[in-house]
Chain A
Amino acid sequence: MLRAEGQNWISNLRKKWISFYLISTLAIALAIALVLSAIAVYLLHFSPWLFALVFPIVLAILLFSKPIWKTTDHDVSRFVNNQYPELEESADLLLKNELELSILQQLQRNKIENILTSLPQPKEPAKKLYLGLVILLVGLLISIGISQISLHKNEPLNFHEKASQIPAVKENIPAEISDFSATIIPPAYTQKSERKQKQFTITAETGAKVNWKIETNIGIKKLKIIFNDNEVVSLKALSASHTQWDYSKTVNKSGFYQLDLDGKKSDLYQIEIIPDLPITIKITQPKQHTTIDIGQPQKINLNVSLTDDYGINDAFISATMASGKGEGVSFTEKKLSFNTNFNNKKSIALTKLIDLKSLGMKPGDELYFFIKAMDNHGQSSRSDVYFVSIVDTAELMSLAGMTNGVNLVPEYFRSERQIIIDTEKLLKEQSSIPAQAFKNRSNDLGIDQKLLRLRYGQFLGEENETEIGGDHDDHDEHAEHKSGIEKFGDVTTIMDKYAHKHDIAEDATFFEPEMKAQLKAVLTEMWNAELRLRTYKPQEALPYEYKALRLLKDLQQKSRAYVAKTTVKTAALKPEKRLSGELDKITQPVQKMSFEQKEKRTASLKAALALLESRKTGKKFSEQDQYLLSETEKYMIGSAADHPSTYLSALSSLRKLSTTNKLIINDIDLVQQAIQNMINTEQAKPQIQSTSPATTLYQNYFNNLNKAGK
């Protein structure tokens, strides 16, 4: 018995251990599954049945990761040995067959059996259990939190939408329907929770699933839903008494529907779709055309802001580099990512520094790029193409432009180039020459630059050197005139004395204003270069010099037109056939066509308008009128399927009109308005004006007047 007691103690412990552990695992699995399915259901809008799938999977994973049921009594005894030093590492003796034990072992065994009964139960299994329960509690709290968050997030939005999108339409609901609800489950990309409404008029996002639950107060044989007047769907009865009906449909297009209860048709209800808009991309930096001059860092900073109505999934820069010139242009395409996580954010501001050098761009190359973005529904949108070009200094230095065509002012252009060459040379020699000499040469270059600037200033008609940088301070020449000897009788000198005569500098030349503006820009650059050269900073002057040269080059190109020589081979003329002036073999082309108006829509709509107008006076519809009305109805169904909010009420009014004999002016007005909208704006057509009947009297009168006039 004693032996059994010890063994029992251990096996009890094992059972307890296993069962506690299992419960704890179950709790943990439950917690994990809860949290997962809360995320899936509330945030990703899956069915709640998902839980039934998730829970066994999690449980299975947990169980197989630690197969607790394989725990043996030996494992337990080992644990007990570890846990209780009182047992003196002899717990496994209890498990062994008593007969096989040595006397010492038996003694030891008896000893610990006594101890064992007085030992407290180990706390480990209970701890495990508590841990599991705590995890379950935390999981519960988290899942409740998630459901609260998603509700919270959607609440203000929903509230707003309900106010704006679902107008409280007064609906006529068939008397047979005792209760109904329409549940709209927006597609996942909208991240909206499902909403339930007691209204047949539906406003849903593209791809939303709409579930109708209809309860009737009496058993109905057949309940159908007719979509857009052509798609008929029979509903399945949920109950045997045929009073509960259910139908689900994914809507992608606006339209309308009506219920058909055993042949009795309800009003028309509209389905309006909120479309998913593509992402709007706004590039705030750089400008659409950017030129990088020499000396500027060959980098561009890109600032983009993206906005979408539901969420942005991805965005990247698609860049194309063009290098080479003429026929040797080569293109390389590259996809640059923004290296950020978009997380389905609704709007995001992105920045990226594009290093042109690392892209492999050389001076003279151009970069075209645009930004492509995808929203979480898979719609993509792209921005305009932006251009970045690096100025090629080598190209500027080349004399290619000089060798052909007219050279208007060659020395000036060469001079600027010369200054650049000299500056670069000076910089190269900077280390080898004394500081004073460097400064002197730099100053000399500055003087050269000034002279060049002054010469260009003459093009603009500037009078003196202070023109561009400073202001007019005085007019020396006028003072001279005063002191000069007057020539007696010289009218011009006398007049000069009294007249303040000098040209308006701006208008003195014959350049176009555009060219003048560019010339001015050149002068500014030269001035800047001169400033740096005079202050012994040739390195800083270099970019300005290059820019001045580039602008000059542009100017030069503007004033020339060049047509390359080509070889042309023409057929040999036959002089005997030329200029004979015989046209008898030429036939005159005659074209004959008749335009057929295929569409009768406008004509019948117009006739319907007049028909409704006559109905207003109380005239009943004839059979022919009914045909015209049905024709109109057909057109209106088409319009209503596209724009249910505008035409649906008119359509139901039209149906009412054609069936009842009662005269309802409001309905007629509504239909007439809708028809006018359908006709759209008409273009004016020239019409012949009519006059009173031509009688001989008028004719005679006219003829006599004509005679008298002559």
Chain B
Amino acid sequence: MEFKYIAILVGFVLLAFLLYKEIRRANKARLIWRIFANIIAVCCFIFLIVPIKFETHVPQNTDEIILLTEGTNLDSIASLKGKKYTLSSLELKNTKTIHIPDLSYFLKSNPNIRKLNVYGYGLNTTELEQLKGYQVTFHPSANPRGIIAVNWPAKSKTTELLQVQGTYQNSGNESVKLLLKGLGKTVDSIVIEAKLSKAFSFKTTPKQTGKAVYELISLQKTDTLAKEPVPVQVGDQAPMKVLILASFPDFEYKFLKNWLYENQYPLAFRSQISKNKYAFDFLNTDSINLNQINTSSLKKFDILIIDEEEFAAISPSERSSIDLAVNNGMGLLIRVANVKASTTLSGKFTRFEAPVLKGKPLSLKEDYFKFSPLPVEQALFLKSNQSDQPLIVDVSGKIVVNSSINGYGKVLVSTLSSTYNWLLSGQKIDYATYWAKLLANAARKRNDIQAVNIIPQFPVISQKMRIIADLAESNQIPILKIDSILLSPRQNMELPFQWDAFYWPQKSGWANLALNQTIGPVYIYKKTDWETLKNQQKLNGTHQFIKNLNTNEAKNKLTDTVIEEEISIWWFFTGFLIAATFLWFEARILAV
């Protein structure tokens, strides 16, 4: 039995006893008043012990607030009644609003708030996290105008193409010109028509070595709408080591050899001149014994270029050591000239012969580049399997260079045998692009000692950023410094080689991030940079949040509207005191 029922029972017993005593009392004056006072006193006493609770429907306007976020159209909210709240990050003029310094604190301190009407672009993910369990209605503003998605490689190597891709959302009524400007020069531009969302892709080769900040500028006629920074870092790196094994010297090898030599690539060239007799060239590198190819000698090279005849002619042990080296990451480029494959590795790629188009030069292309035509009659082409990645195709789509993964490494097969014609006709760019594509694709990938990731995509001044460092070795605490401020990293529980740290940047621009001994630059953005992109992300995030919320909205509605309330015990105490006082006063003064 619960305590309150015992208390009520005891109370009634007490009341019955008191009433009996009152009735039996000799002095019958003011009997009714005394009975009445007794009843009140006992009832109040009971209620003192057992407080009265009741459920009530909470009036709507008390627990619903209007939250204004960034991008709110001031005209549309002017007609709204009720208190308007804004987050501290937003500054609104000419409107009476209440600033909320911290959303989670505010919600905790106002537990009666059950519903939020969010206006504007919405809230970011951490803020949305806190709104779980609340009823939220979202009144989004119109889509922001500007770049809503963008990506580019933060680090690139000399002569590599910098590609800045993204989407521009033009919600305005006039067309907008978007330009990529860098190093004092407009590199590329695009026009985005009114009321259109358009993807853009700008390409350029950064010419500096080191850091530079490109700019994405959107112009409406002559007005600059936005200027977003695109920080880019270009660095040199050690060139790849190349090994060429030739069954016979030809022009293709000779020109390739000279080209690599002039570009300072370490190159070992072996060409057969008779049975077990070779001519060697060691260019930009020390000479090693290459009479017999073995695993240890192959370890010194990043890529092996070989023709199929030579590949078939070398001993099986050499072949297997090449196979092993490729499995361990070395690149292999096989030049083929026949329809029939003579080795297993090159046999992975099926070939076919197409009739030669007389008098028609061969026009090739890769992803971003169209080569100038080669005056050769190419009959041999490759077929693509599911696991292959074609690199170079001709205009009709027939594959000339194909690639496939083999273990850690890559195997490339090329049917093109006279690229030197480009050099002869002065098309140096074509030749360089072709071989850069092939060699870069095939060569052994270099493992970084460490890698750094930063969250969010655009670290902003005085906002939290997370630095994630991947190390090759997991048993050592890395030393992480930003601009000589030492950070304390914590280890990932599941991935022992991953460490992360938090940092609040102090100033915008380039900052130096030192991980152990290596120093790499990090660009800290201003608060106003990439604003539309962030707003669009907020919009999308809030929309997504509302969508997930709607599934349990009905349940929320019931529990939310009914609330239990307690009548303050002071009322009963007062009643008890008055009744008790009356009884005492009557007995002492009036009855005498």
A596-626 vs B, Cβ < 8 Å mask (1 yes, 0 no):
0100000100110111111011000000000
Distance between Cα atoms of A628 and B183 in the complex (Å) = 17
Q: Are B208 and A689 in contact (CB under 8 A)?
A: no
Q: Are B497 and A697 in contact (CB under 8 A)?
A: yes
Q: Are A682 and B207 in contact (CB under 8 A)?
A: yes
Q: Are A606 and B207 in contact (CB under 8 A)?
A: yes
Residues of B within 8 A of A683 (CB): 159, 428-429, 432-433, 436
Residues of B within 8 A of A403 (CB): none
| A583 interface hit (Cβ, 8 Å) | yes
Q: Are A594 and B447 in contact (CB under 8 A)?
A: no
| B112 interface hit (Cβ, 8 Å) | no
Q: Are B205 and A682 in contact (CB under 8 A)?
A: yes
Residues of A within 8 A of B472 (CB): 693-695
Residues of A within 8 A of B261 (CB): 593, 595
Distance between Cα atoms of A513 and B265 in the complex (Å) = 51
Q: Are B440 and A687 in contact (CB under 8 A)?
A: yes
Shortest CB-to-CB span from B287 to chain A, Å, is 6
| A586 interface hit (Cβ, 8 Å) | yes
Residues of B within 8 A of A95 (CB): none
Distance between Cα atoms of A689 and B439 in the complex (Å) = 10
Q: Known contacts A583-B276, A614-B211, A686-B240: does B448 contact A692 (CB below 8 Å)?
A: yes
Q: Are A607 and B209 in contact (CB under 8 A)?
A: yes
Q: Are B185 and A673 in contact (CB under 8 A)?
A: yes
Q: Are A588 and B495 in contact (CB under 8 A)?
A: no
Q: Are B211 and A613 in contact (CB under 8 A)?
A: yes
Shortest CB-to-CB span from B332 to chain A, Å, is 15
Per a CB cutoff under 8 Å, which of B157, B184, B278, B450 touches A670? B184
Residues of A within 8 A of B106 (CB): none
A647-685 vs B, Cβ < 8 Å mask (1 yes, 0 no):
000000000000000000000111111011001011111
For B280, the closest partner residue in chain A by CB is A590
Residues of A within 8 A of B183 (CB): 609, 612-613, 672-673, 676
Residues of A within 8 A of B213 (CB): 613, 616-617
| B81 interface hit (Cβ, 8 Å) | no
| A340 interface hit (Cβ, 8 Å) | no
Q: Are A686 and B439 in contact (CB under 8 A)?
A: yes
Distance between Cα atoms of A671 and B185 in the complex (Å) = 10
| A589 interface hit (Cβ, 8 Å) | yes
Q: Known contacts A591-B282, A595-B262, A606-B208: does B184 contact A690 (CB below 8 Å)?
A: no
Q: Are A681 and B429 in contact (CB under 8 A)?
A: yes
B274-300 vs A, Cβ < 8 Å mask (1 yes, 0 no):
111111111110010000000000000
Per a CB cutoff under 8 Å, which of B238, B278, B432 touches A588? B278
| B365 interface hit (Cβ, 8 Å) | no
Q: Are B445 and A688 in contact (CB under 8 A)?
A: yes
Residues of A within 8 A of B240 (CB): 686-688
Residues of A within 8 A of B440 (CB): 686-689
For B265, the closest partner residue in chain A by CB is A686
Q: Are B497 and A610 in contact (CB under 8 A)?
A: no
Residues of A within 8 A of B408 (CB): 702
Q: Are A686 and B443 in contact (CB under 8 A)?
A: yes
Per a CB cutoff under 8 Å, which of A586, A603, A612, A706 touches B277? A586
Distance between Cα atoms of A673 and B187 in the complex (Å) = 11
Residues of A within 8 A of B20 (CB): none
- The CB with the most chain B CB atoms within 10 A, among A586, A606, A669, is that of A606
Q: Are A595 and B497 in contact (CB under 8 A)?
A: no
Q: Known contacts A613-B212, A617-B509, A697-B495: does B264 contact A597 (CB below 8 Å)?
A: yes
| B302 interface hit (Cβ, 8 Å) | yes
For A702, the closest partner residue in chain B by CB is B408
Which size class do B's interface residues fall under? 35 or more
Q: Known contacts A583-B275, A609-B208, A676-B183: does B432 contact A593 (CB below 8 Å)?
A: no
Q: Are A684 and B280 in contact (CB under 8 A)?
A: no
Residues of B within 8 A of A616 (CB): 213
| B80 interface hit (Cβ, 8 Å) | no
For B263, the closest partner residue in chain A by CB is A685
Q: Are A685 and B432 in contact (CB under 8 A)?
A: yes
Distance between Cα atoms of A522 and B248 in the complex (Å) = 50
Q: Are A693 and B449 in contact (CB under 8 A)?
A: yes
Residues of B within 8 A of A695 (CB): 470-474, 497
Q: Known contacts A595-B283, A668-B184: does B262 contact A690 (CB below 8 Å)?
A: no
Q: Are B282 and A592 in contact (CB under 8 A)?
A: yes
Q: Known contacts A609-B207, A669-B184, A687-B158: does B287 contact A590 (CB below 8 Å)?
A: yes
Residues of A within 8 A of B273 (CB): 588-589
Residues of B within 8 A of A691 (CB): 445-448
Per a CB cutoff under 8 Å, which of A589, A679, A693 touches B280? A589
Q: Are B160 and A687 in contact (CB under 8 A)?
A: yes
Shortest CB-to-CB span from A123 to chain B, Å, is 85
Residues of B within 8 A of A679 (CB): 207
Residues of A within 8 A of B446 (CB): 688-691
Q: Are A617 and B510 in contact (CB under 8 A)?
A: yes
A551-591 vs B, Cβ < 8 Å mask (1 yes, 0 no):
00000000000000000000000000000010100101111
Q: Known contacts A670-B184, A686-B240, A689-B443: does B429 contact A610 (CB below 8 Å)?
A: no
For B471, the closest partner residue in chain A by CB is A693
Per a CB cutoff under 8 Å, which of B284, B429, B447, B474 touches A692? B447
Q: Are A687 and B157 in contact (CB under 8 A)?
A: yes
For A581, the closest partner residue in chain B by CB is B275
Q: Are B439 and A610 in contact (CB under 8 A)?
A: no
Q: Are B435 and A686 in contact (CB under 8 A)?
A: yes
Shortest CB-to-CB span from B476 to chain A, Å, is 13
Shortest CB-to-CB span from B583 to chain A, Å, is 84
For A589, the closest partner residue in chain B by CB is B279
For B435, the closest partner residue in chain A by CB is A686
Shortest CB-to-CB span from B47 to chain A, Å, is 68
Shortest CB-to-CB span from A20 to chain B, Å, is 79
Shortest CB-to-CB span from A706 to chain B, Å, is 7
Q: Are B209 and A687 in contact (CB under 8 A)?
A: no
| B505 interface hit (Cβ, 8 Å) | no
Per a CB cutoff under 8 Å, which of A597, A684, A693 touches B432? A684
Residues of A within 8 A of B544 (CB): none
Per a CB cutoff under 8 Å, which of B184, B234, B276, B445 touches A671? B184
Which residues 411-455 of B have a CB within 8 angstroms of A?
Answer: 428-429, 432-433, 435-440, 443-451
Distance between Cα atoms of A679 and B183 in the complex (Å) = 13
Distance between Cα atoms of A688 and B444 in the complex (Å) = 7
Q: Are A610 and B209 in contact (CB under 8 A)?
A: yes
Distance between Cα atoms of A668 and B448 in the complex (Å) = 35
Shortest CB-to-CB span from A628 to chain B, Å, is 11
| B407 interface hit (Cβ, 8 Å) | yes
| B27 interface hit (Cβ, 8 Å) | no
| B11 interface hit (Cβ, 8 Å) | no
Q: Are A686 and B436 in contact (CB under 8 A)?
A: yes
Shortest CB-to-CB span from B372 to chain A, Å, is 14
| B210 interface hit (Cβ, 8 Å) | yes
Q: Are A590 and B277 in contact (CB under 8 A)?
A: no
| B237 interface hit (Cβ, 8 Å) | yes
Distance between Cα atoms of A669 and B432 in the complex (Å) = 30
Distance between Cα atoms of A666 and B264 in the complex (Å) = 37
Distance between Cα atoms of A694 and B328 in the complex (Å) = 12
Distance between Cα atoms of A681 and B207 in the complex (Å) = 9
Distance between Cα atoms of A693 and B518 in the complex (Å) = 14
Residues of B within 8 A of A690 (CB): 445-448
Residues of A within 8 A of B278 (CB): 588
Residues of A within 8 A of B207 (CB): 606, 609, 675-676, 679, 682
Shortest CB-to-CB span from A90 to chain B, Å, is 101
Distance between Cα atoms of A702 and B445 in the complex (Å) = 15
10 contacts between A and B (CB under 8 A): A591-B282, A609-B183, A671-B184, A675-B207, A676-B183, A676-B185, A686-B436, A689-B443, A693-B497, A706-B407
- Known A614-B211, A686-B240; further 18 A-B contacts with Cβ < 8 A: A581-B275, A588-B273, A588-B278, A590-B280, A592-B282, A592-B283, A593-B284, A594-B284, A609-B209, A671-B184, A676-B184, A682-B159, A688-B239, A688-B445, A690-B445, A691-B448, A692-B448, A694-B447
**Interface pairs A-B: 8 shortest CB-CB:** A610-B210, A669-B184, A686-B439, A672-B184, A609-B208, A683-B432, A684-B436, A693-B472
